[in-house]
Chains A and B, each alone.
Chain A
Amino acid sequence: MFVLVVGAGRVGASVATTALRAGHTVSVLDEDPLSHERLDVELGETWESAGGRFTIGTALEMDALEEAGIAGADVFIASTDGDNTNLVVSQLAQKRFEVPKVIARILDPRRAAWYAEQGLHTVCPTAIAIDQLEKAALGQADAVGRAGDEGA
């Protein structure tokens, strides 16, 4: 599979590294060259020597996305630190480039839920944290699966 990761912070870099180790073709797009170093450190060798691709550019630059190989991507992961960027770029991947599998990290639980209803695969770390905190603090029975629907 060809996996394109846009935004290589802690989450993006970790997913990219795992995918590469699992034998997939992985391309990473990030505006900050420093994020390349994070990938090198995670891997223990340089990202390129391990077979990875890296493009410097912002998520909404069409040229950068194309250079990173979006046209041939099987999986697209939007994991920049901005919800708005992730929402726009993942819809771009879906509608313009017709990437078969598009996943967006959205911190705002309400928008993550609404866009999921619209057919976008969203992952909401905030909802997961709320859920786990409630379970840890109040016990399993008192906090059943309501994290995704409540206000931010």
Chain B
Amino acid sequence: MYVIVAGAGKVGWNLARELLERDNEVTVIESDRRRYLTVEQELEHAVHYGDATELWVLERAGINRADLVVAVTGDDEDNLLICQVAKEKYLVERIIARCNNPRNLELFKLLGIGPAVSATDLILRLIEHEVPKYGLVHLLDLPEERLEIIELVVSDDAPAVDKAVSDLDLPEGALVVAVLRTKGGFVPKADTVIEAGDEVLVVLDPGLEDAITKHFVTENGSG
């Protein structure tokens, strides 16, 4: 596989190393002259000096025959535009963009640039999982399939408490697929009664989070 990596920061350099070890052909593009010289001592001809947002730099790196372009510079606009031209102008089959500021994830989505990987977002997910007080945890997002799985801790005075699953009146497109109780987890039946302190896993269409959360978590319990 031929991979072009834009940006020779910590992420780009280590990524290139790993890819080279696995017998891929790699070209890293770095626009900072000093950084380029440092990285070049190890990667030699596998690193090019230049601004990867410029078309001729991408062409010199052989973007026309690239199987994968990974944009991991520290600048979200650059990553977005590098991936955009790779995908739409040079028809590179696969792209991966790094998103430095999670607030920009929306931009990547809007312009159809994905997958966009945000380290901040990944760590935040882990924190949410480790700190259940957050109320709602995203366990899985499948944007292509338009499905999500969330985990909720049922608060004491939530509307769902003491109700059977079949009486919950959840919106269309949502389904309780598992209940975790002190004794362990199980798949609920229609007559399973929800208890305070249960952790419920819900499969849902994206966007239904708020409508579902209010059944299981009351205002003051939602942290």
| A residues in contact (CB < 8 Å) with B | 60, 62, 82-85, 87-88, 91-92, 95-96, 108, 110-111, 114, 118, 151-152
Whether the Cβ atoms of B54 and A84 lie closer than 8 Å is no
Asked if B146 lies at the interface with its beta carbon under 8 angstroms from chain A, I say no
**Number of chain B interface residues as a range:** 10 to 19
Cβ A92 vs Cβ B56 within 8 A: no
Residues of B within 8 A of A91 (CB): 110-111
Query: Is there contact, CB below 8 Å, between B77 and A114?
Result: no
Chain B facing A: main interface SS: helix
* Chain B proximity of A144: nearest CB distance (Å): 23
| In contact, B85 and A85 (Cβ under 8 angstroms) | no
Q: Using Cβ atoms and an 8 Å threshold, which residues of chain B touch A82?
A: 77
Question: Is there contact, CB below 8 Å, between A60 and B110?
Answer: no
A95 interface neighbour in B55, B77, B80, B110, Cβ under 8 Å = B110
CB contacts (< 8 Å) of B110 on chain A: these are 91-92, 95-96
**Chain A-chain B contacts (Cβ-Cβ < 8 Å), number:** 44
Q: Does B141 contact A (CB under 8 A)?
A: no
Q: Can you list 17 pairs linking A and B with CB atoms under 8 Å apart?
A: A62-B106, A82-B77, A83-B53, A84-B53, A85-B77, A87-B77, A88-B77, A88-B107, A88-B111, A91-B110, A91-B111, A92-B107, A95-B110, A108-B55, A118-B88, A151-B56, A152-B56
Chain B residues in 8 Å Cβ range of A151: 56
Q: Is B104 an interface residue (CB 8 A)?
A: yes
A88 near B56 with CB under 8 A, answer no
CB of B100, distance to nearest CB on chain A (Å)? 12
In the bound complex, what is the Cα–Cα distance between A62 and B101 (angstroms)?
Answer: 13
Asked if B89 is an interface residue, CB under 8 A from chain A, the answer is yes
Chain B residues lying within 8 Å of A95, measured Cβ to Cβ, are: 110-111
Task: Assess whether B107 is in contact with A114, with CB atoms less than 8 Å apart.
Answer: no
Q: Is the CB of B81 within 8 A of A87?
A: yes
Chain A contacts of B55 at CB under 8 A?
108, 110-111, 114
Residue contact A84 to B85, C-beta cutoff 8 Å = no
Q: How far is the CA of A111 from the CA of B78 in the complex (A)?
A: 13
In angstroms, how far is the closest chain A Cβ from the Cβ of B98?
A: 15
**B42 contacts partner chain A, Cβ-Cβ < 8 Å:** no
Contact A88 B89 (CB under 8 A): no
Give the Cβ gap from B15 to chain A, nearest Cβ, in Å.
22
Q: Is A114 a contact of B89 with CB atoms below 8 Å? A: yes
Across-interface contacts of B78 in A (CB, < 8 A): 84
Q: What is the CA–CA distance of A87 and B78 in the complex, to the nearest angstrom?
A: 10
Q: How far is the CB of A102 from chain B (nearest CB, A)?
A: 14
